Chain A
Amino acid sequence: MLLAIENLTIRYPSRFGDFTAVDDASLHLDRGEVLGIVGESGAGKSTIGNAIMGLLQAPGKMVGGSIIFDGQRLDLLSKKELISLRGKKVGMIFQDPMTSLNPLETIEAQLLETVLLHSDLSKADAKLRALELLSEVGISAPAERIKQFPHEFSGGMRQRVVIALVLAGNPDLIIADEPTTALDVSIQATILKLIRTLCHHKNVGVILVTHDMAVIAETTDRVAVMHRGKIVETDNTKSLIASPKHAYTKALISAVPPSNRRIDRFTHVDFAKDRHDRKSIDLKSHWVGKEVYEPAAEKELLKVQNLTKVFNARSSIFSPKRESTLAVDNVTFSILDGETYGIVGESGSGKSTIARLISGIHKPTDGSVLFDGLDLLNGIKSVQDKKKKRKIQMIFQDPYSSLNGRMRVEQIISEPLLLGGFEGSKAELQQLVYDLLFLVELESGAASKYPHAFSGGQRQRISIARALASRPKFLICDEPTSALDVSIQAQILNLLRDLQQRLNLTYLFISHDLPVMRQVCDRIAVMKNGSLVEECPAEEIFTSPQHSYTKDLIRLMPKFER
């Protein structure tokens, strides 16, 4: 038994009383196996990792239980003894590769320092070992690259360097804290494979902390599920996914979008706080429903032709020359009335830029955008035109910056109502705000609060209510659930589906997450480096992809099948 944690309890004292981050948690790990710790945000999974290393963020304190590593009580060691164990026996991979390395030193310097610290090698031998490590983690041309600085490496490459640094001390236990969350899906697969291979070949124990069930399914041997500080279930991975026992585990698994089929609706995650009984509003007579009409079959609601966008930016403070980036390259597509059209791509593919070109935040360099016959780039002149333009609304990715923190929810939602020409009394306006809140499953009491009183999922609901207040026809959803926990994501996706049916909305759904898109989209377009490389009905993308890039994406997509 490499690691045994018994009844671990960790508390953070705060203004409102003590917060128990980890509550009576027990787990164990053997050499050569990958144990996953999965949970949503705030579950306490990273805290366990930090506690093992002795790197708990102040003012957290371990108040009960024990951590036994290789026969030694880690929690009873002095600071000095702990320092001597770090790197040599226990290592940790952090989440964000962009900030894990010292920006001012070369990779060589950083590697040498760690290698020399944990071994008795001469400087020359240490240099060789450093090169060895870089090859082990899959960095090509190590002799050249070792002389470079961190900012000359891409995100995935930097994470490999991080892994090399962790391996430099030959630890027996490696804790990987969300090691691929900040990376693109295609890079994610290779890094996870690397971790798993190293684990089995070197016979080290790996604890993989993540929120992503698909990562758990592909990479771990056993898994512990955490919820609000408690470990609710531990099992070997295949069994857990096939037949979960605890209610939370069942709920969590049911919320994960399966990558192998399309389901109608996510069955509710009962443990979540956001549950609400829906009040019914008769939409036919309600103000919100007044402008809803049946979708016209086969009508092109949005038509994008030859859309191109070039960004001019200075690359560094040196060059007076401007470097141009081709963000969107001659893209053409149409979206039909009433459908959900998806655009999938990795970071830098141009998908978000397209959203902003349609919404008008950026002006295209070339091409045209027609919305219900209206030329969005040139034709917005009359009041009627502006009214039509407001039928396009957007939901954003970051729930924390998409609401003005200094405005009450009531103000946030009434602003578009008033701008849309609402003429009624103050009481009527307020009732309308309450109704909109009901539509997105929030209580009327929410209206008088400020955004900071709400969770991420609730904020997204407020954003949706704000968008609905303009009585839109077309809703651009730009990664609306990427920043949310998987159970909240399921709820929001359910909500969006319901709203679409009741209000006959058309969606443009943008994401990098293919399993999610399989659940919500009718057609999907794939973007790479600004170009649209493939477009077809949703299921076909998964069952018979044509373009090589699409095939790669499907192949590297983390599989979670049920």
Chain B
Amino acid sequence: MELSLFQYLIRRALQSGVVLLVTGLIAFSMFRFVGDPVENMMGQERTDADIELLREKLGLNDPFFIQYWNFLADAAQGDLGISFRQGRPVVEVLIERLPATIELASVSAFLAIIVGITLGVYVAIKPFGWITNTVLTVSLIGVSLPTFLIGIMLIYLFAVELSWLPSFGRGETVQIGWWSTGLLTVSGIKAIILPAVTLGLYQMTMIMRLVRSEMSEVLNSDFIRFARSRGLPEQKINFRHALKNTLVPVITVTGLQLGSIIAFAIITETVFQWPGLGLLFIDSVQFVDIPIMASYLMFISLMFVSINLIVDILYVMIDPRLRIGEAS
């Protein structure tokens, strides 16, 4: 069995590799073929000779695959080119903005999971009653409201009217090595609340609905009926038997969704002017800063692939049916 698990992981790793290569290819194509990079890099005063020289230097006259290979090699070493807009190496810019997004995403994810699962379980166990109805109605509105609108509403309520929380920025940050954290200062914590809630609300709603639907299905299944007929108390049935069986499929879907939080951060960061990767990406789209766009794409791809892999491993560890083959 150990060997099979190993083989499985190898296969998944290879698949992930393919995904990364494909993304890399797309990113690379953007680099080279969208707009003329040379044009973008040089100023107004240039001669044809200058252009040709730069072309040669950048290797733009080499065959496609050589360029692709060089691109990949450079990327692996951490050289992702120079931002058209900022004139700095892309890697530098990415690292600078990374902590803001990671912190925001983590806090959101945490909120979404805790609240989402709790509410989902409650609603599944007590399908009737005013609390359930309220939660379901609010969740439906939550899914219908675009994230940016929620953000604006929250800003208006808490920042403008009540002045309890700041309406933009990260507050004060503390530098630990190359990581800047906002979680160690009061103003930093205050600043992260509204964006985290905004970002997490959609995920929270999705998780709640998923948990509810899965758990309701489990609660109606045969083995739960059999457990009831054996006299097991409702508490045990709900939490020991039903919940465990619910969480197994929930974990997979949730894990994948959480990966997308990092990308959805784009919207929240825009509304709150949060200095993270998302805001960076939006700016880069507006100014057609191809290196940033492409590198962001690759970064997201890397994150997704890693999260997918972790989720797969978790799934296998939890569901015994996958570890051991079925009996005849």
Contacts and interface: CB of A to CB of B under 8 A. Distances in A.
Touching chains A and B, CB distance < 8 Å: yes
Interface of A: 53, 55, 83-88, 91-92, 94, 96, 99-105, 113-114, 117-118, 149, 151-154, 162, 165-166, 168-169, 315-320, 348
Contact of A88 (B231, B236, B325): B231
A322 to B, nearest CB: 14
Contacts of A103: 223, 245, 320-321
Contacts of B221: 99
A85 B228 CA distance: 11
Interface residues of B, number: 33
Interface in B140-174: none
B230 A162 contact: no
B239 interface: no
Contacts of B319: 104
B230 A94 contact: no
B176 interface: no
Given A152-B324, A316-B322, A102 B5 contact: no
A386 B259 CA distance: 55
24 contacts: A53-B229, A86-B230, A88-B231, A91-B230, A94-B226, A99-B223, A102-B223, A103-B223, A103-B321, A104-B245, A104-B318, A104-B319, A104-B320, A117-B231, A151-B320, A151-B326, A151-B327, A152-B326, A154-B327, A169-B231, A315-B326, A316-B322, A317-B8, A318-B4
Given A83-B231, A104-B245, A154-B327, 9 more contacts: A55-B225, A87-B230, A94-B222, A102-B241, A103-B321, A104-B319, A166-B230, A168-B230, A320-B11
A255 to B, nearest CB: 30
Nearest to A165: B230
Contact of B324 (A149, A165, A320, A348): A149
B248 interface: yes
Contact of A102 (B227, B228, B327): B227
A180 B115 CA distance: 44
B7 A318 contact: yes
Contacts of B229: 53, 55, 86-87, 91-92, 94
Interface of B: 4-5, 7-8, 11, 221-223, 225-234, 236, 241, 244-245, 248, 318-322, 324-328
A84 B234 CA distance: 11
Contacts of A53: 229
B7 A317 contact: no
A169 B222 contact: no
Contact of A152 (B4, B5, B327): B327
B58 to A, nearest CB: 42
Contact of B223 (A86, A100, A149): A100
A149 B181 CA distance: 46
Nearest to B248: A104
Task: Report the 6 A-B pairs with minimum CB-CB distance, sorted nearest first.
Answer: A87-B231, A86-B231, A99-B222, A318-B4, A87-B230, A92-B229
Given A99-B221, A100-B226, A151 B231 contact: no
B223 A101 contact: yes
Greatest chain A CB density within 10 A among B221, B223, B244, B318 is at: B223
A106 B325 CA distance: 15
Given A87-B229, A92-B229, A149-B321, A320 B222 contact: no
Given A99-B221, A99-B222, A169-B231, A149 B320 contact: yes
A102 B232 CA distance: 13
A104 B315 CA distance: 12
Contacts of A169: 230-231
Nearest to B3: A318
Nearest to B241: A102
Contact of A162 (B226, B228, B244): B226
Contact of B228 (A55, A316, A348): A55
Nearest to B319: A104
A166 B320 CA distance: 24
Contacts of A102: 223, 227, 241, 245
A320 B244 CA distance: 29
A255 B260 CA distance: 62
Contact of A117 (B232, B244, B324): B232
A154 B327 CA distance: 6
A153 B11 CA distance: 29
A151 B7 contact: no
B55 to A, nearest CB: 46
Contacts of A319: 4, 7
Nearest to B240: A113
A166 B229 CA distance: 9
A342 to B, nearest CB: 26
A348 B327 CA distance: 14
Contacts of A118: 231
Contacts of B327: 151-154
A317 B322 contact: yes
Contacts of A114: 230, 232
A117 B322 CA distance: 30
B232 A113 contact: yes
A104 B73 CA distance: 45
Greatest chain B CB density within 10 A among A88, A102, A152, A165 is at: A102
A318 B5 contact: yes
Contacts of B328: 154, 348
B312 to A, nearest CB: 10
Contacts of B234: 83
A118 B230 CA distance: 9
A99 B233 CA distance: 20
Contacts of B244: 104
Contacts of A86: 228-231
Nearest to A89: B231
A54 B129 CA distance: 23
Greatest chain B CB density within 10 A among A88, A104, A149, A153 is at: A104
A91 B232 CA distance: 12
A221 B245 CA distance: 40
Contacts of B4: 316, 318-319
Nearest to A103: B321
